[in-house]
Amino acid sequence: MIRASIALAGSLLLASVLQAQEAPKDTATQSRTQTLVTDLTFHSNSYDPIRLFLVGGRIYHAQFTQPDIVLQMRSYEGKQLPMIVSVNLAPDASGRTDLEIRPRVDGEYEFRPTYVYDGNPIRFQLWLLPKPEDAEPRNAHTAVQGVEFGTELSVGGHGAYENGIYSFGGKGGSFSGCVTVRNLGGEQGRLWGCMLGVEFEKAGGDSAWTYLFLQPRIRILGGTSSVSGGAVLHLASGSASHGRASGKYGMGLYIGYQERRENGGGWTVTGSILALRVNASDAAASGAGSWAASIGIGRFFF
């Protein structure tokens, strides 16, 4: 039963990781980086001036489909002309001219290209660039922003597993190491924790157990970085011994700190308290419950 639960949880977690890795990029978001103001094509001997209203304090990107175009401008209202900056710092292999236009004040301006090659049509496009505060915010979970994997080491203690009739092990300590995952994307971004780990549990005397375990955590409070807290599930499977069946399971609460670096990765510190239960290897006997507490330190790498 416990092994089946672990296999099912592992399959679901793996499917979530693959789904997050294969999610398509939001092309609509990418297209919102600038707004097209005008798109015109001039033909030979018909280079009439363009008349457009520009907003002061904004930045416009102008592009001509021929190289070495010089843009002449005139204000219909006698206002200060915009500043024009060439974006082509070196010869453009595509044969274009790219300019930045920075009007100081609102006004209506005339655009006229010069040094146009005779007999060739020329396309002129003008985009309004977004304000810095309107630009798409960088998701720290975006460079961080993809699924991240890491490792975590934990130490802790637990109470005695006794049901009033039989003891399945006294109180003692535990040590565990696991592979961790986070940044699954969407609502699944709330799910993180130990994807697969090994736990060594020691009780009084010579009693000891080794488990393979999963410990997914669901963030309920806090953001994707800094301090957060939520629920934690523990599913473990090991060899049956000392009257115990092979499984151990339980749930509880965690509180932790996650560091998120600009280029991905970061340290984590997590404290957990769990209500756990073990079953008796004898199907006719009752199992026993106990508590466990642990603190872990880990790091996400990629």
Q: Do residues 171 and 281 both lie within one domain?
A: yes
Phi/psi of residue 162, nearest 5 degrees:
-135, 145
151 and 226 belong to one structural domain:
yes
Reported as a single tens digit per residue, the pLDDT across 110-147 is: 887 776 666 677 888 899 998 766 655 544 443 445 78
Q: Which residues, listed in sequence order, are joined to residue 269 by a DSSP beta bridge? A: 257, 297
What DSSP string runs through 31-54?
A: HTT-EEEEEEEE-TT--PPEEEEE
What mean pLDDT do residues 198-202 have?
94
Name which of 192, 197, 301 is nearest 256 in CA terms. 192
CATH number, domain of 46, equals 2.60.120.380
Q: Are residues 159 and 182 in the same domain?
A: yes
Name every residue whose Cβ is closer than 8 Å to that of residue 93 and which is 6 or more positions away in sequence.
Answer: none
Residues 226 and 130 placed together within one structural domain of the fold: no
Does 90 lie in the same domain as 66? yes
**Same domain (yes/no): 57, 179:** no
Same domain (yes/no): 158, 226: yes
In a domain, 17, yes or no: no
Cβ–Cβ under 8 Å, residues 280 and 168: yes
Q: Over 90: is that where the pLDDT of 206 sits?
A: no
Could you give the number of structural domains in the chain?
Answer: 2
Q: In this structure, is residue 249 part of a structural domain?
A: yes
d(CA 229, CA 227) in angstroms, rounded, equals 7
Strands of 87-121 (E only): list them: 97-102, 107-114
Identify the domain boundary among 134, 150, 172: 134
Q: What percent of the chain stands above pLDDT 70? A: 78
Q: Do 99 and 153 belong to one domain?
A: no
Read off the pTM. 0.54
User: Would you say residue 215 has pLDDT above 60?
Assistant: yes
- The side-by-side arrangement of strands in the sheet containing 35-42 is 35-42, 122-128, 60-64, 97-102, 83-86
Q: Which residues span the domain enclosing 97? A: 34-134
Q: Count the residues in the chain.
A: 302
Residue 272 has phi, psi (to 5 degrees) of -135, 150
